[in-house]
């Protein structure tokens, strides 16, 4: 029996050494790949685009970077249908020109998120240029709302790991979307409605626009709202959506 014990012990030790060596080799090989971020994704900044939840909640979000004709009609529709918790991502340059509309958004109960200042693709800018744009938009929105926004949607939804890291340094939560209404293309009211109601479900973040380029959004909104209200969904801000919940994030390479 003693011989058997020693033999099994040595064999176990041998197998353990082989396993550790193989695991170490695999890690070294994996680190050499571009996908190394997969090993560290829990440590890196991520962009939120939805949450995992069984609660019937959806976050409607509206991007505004220019124009003065569409925002107020959209706010009127939301108010009429008693939807007072959505998130408006607004650019600093637009906010400077339309402080009254910014005030209306807040008074109606909606949330303000940051959409940058100059509305340029961050992935095409140098780090210093991105930081200056973030600082400028943050200052403007802070002055107008008396609160520093905590949510940031990079202009045009354009970001990579570098942009995410910079936004994290400014203590921003980067917000993307899981459902795109495509309303900025003005494909027709019915198409916008279909793009949303056929794809959105519990925990989704829906992209809509309130810039003047989105000429059909206000007309599409009533049907979208009524569809989900009939199914007992609640519309919430992005902050409420992600608070205390498990978020869905995507790897950025």
DSSP conformation letters of 152-163: E--GGG---HHH
Whether residue 70 is predicted with pLDDT greater than 80 in this model: the reply is: yes
**Together in a domain, 172 and 195:** yes
CA distance 185 to 192: 9
What domain count does the chain have?
2
The Cβ of residue 138 has, within 10 Å, a number of other Cβ atoms equal to: 19
Contacts of 61 (CB under 8 A, 6+ apart): 86, 87, 88, 89, 113, 153, 175, 177, 205, 206, 207, 208, 238
**Together in a domain, 90 and 28:** no
**Together in a domain, 22 and 52:** no
**Size of the chain in residues:** 253
**Together in a domain, 10 and 81:** no
Is 209 annotated as catalytic? yes
Domain membership flag for residue 108: yes
Q: Which CATH number belongs to the domain containing residue 136 in this structure?
A: 3.20.20.370
**Together in a domain, 71 and 184:** yes
Marked catalytic residue, from 49, 63, 133, 204: 63
Marked catalytic residue, from 118, 121, 209, 232: 209
Structure confidence at residue 29 (pLDDT): 35
**Together in a domain, 69 and 7:** no
**Together in a domain, 143 and 24:** no
Whether residue 206 is predicted with pLDDT greater than 70 in this model: the reply is: yes
Whether residue 253 is predicted with pLDDT greater than 70 in this model: the reply is: no
Structure confidence at residue 21 (pLDDT): 44
Domain membership flag for residue 41: no
| Cβ(134)–Cβ(163) below 8 Å | no
- What domain range includes position 18? 2-32
**Together in a domain, 91 and 165:** yes
Structure confidence at residue 45 (pLDDT): 87
Is-above-0.85 flag for pTM? Answer: no
**Together in a domain, 211 and 119:** yes
Structure confidence at residue 43 (pLDDT): 67
Write the pLDDT tens digit of every residue in 131-173: 999 999 999 999 999 999 999 999 999 999 999 999 999 999 9
**Together in a domain, 24 and 104:** no
**Together in a domain, 6 and 126:** no
């Amino acid at each position: 029996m003693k011989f058997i014990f020693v033999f099994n012990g040595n064999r176990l030790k041998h197998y353990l050494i082989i396993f550790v060596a193989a695991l170490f080799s695999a890690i070294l090989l994996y680190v050499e790949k571009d996908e190394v971020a997969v090993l560290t994704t829990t440590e890196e900044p991520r962009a939120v685009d939805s949450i995992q939840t069984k609660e019937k909640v959806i976050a409607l979000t509206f991007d505004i970077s220019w124009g003065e004709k569409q925002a107020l009609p959209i706010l009127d529709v939301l108010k009429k249908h008693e939807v007072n918790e959505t998130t408006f991502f607004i650019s600093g340059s637009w906010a400077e020109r339309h402080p009254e509309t910014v005030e209306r958004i807040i008074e109606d109960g909606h949330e303000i998120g940051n959409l940058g200042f100059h509305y340029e693709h961050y992935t095409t800018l140098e780090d210093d240029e991105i930081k200056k744009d973030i600082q400028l938009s943050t200052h403007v929105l802070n002055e107008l709302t008396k609160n520093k926004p905590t949510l940031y949607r990079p202009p045009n939804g354009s970001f990579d790991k570098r942009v995410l890291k910079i936004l994290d340094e400014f203590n921003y939560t980067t917000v993307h979307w899981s459902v795109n209404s495509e309303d900025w293309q003005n494909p027709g009211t019915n198409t916008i409605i279909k793009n949303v109601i056929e794809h959105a479900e519990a925990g989704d973040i829906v992209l809509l626009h309130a810039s003047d380029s989105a000429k059909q959004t206000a007309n599409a909104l009533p049907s979208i709202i009524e569809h989900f209200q009939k199914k007992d969904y609640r519309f919430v801000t992005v902050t409420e959506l992600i608070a205390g919940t498990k978020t869905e994030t995507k790897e950025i390479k």
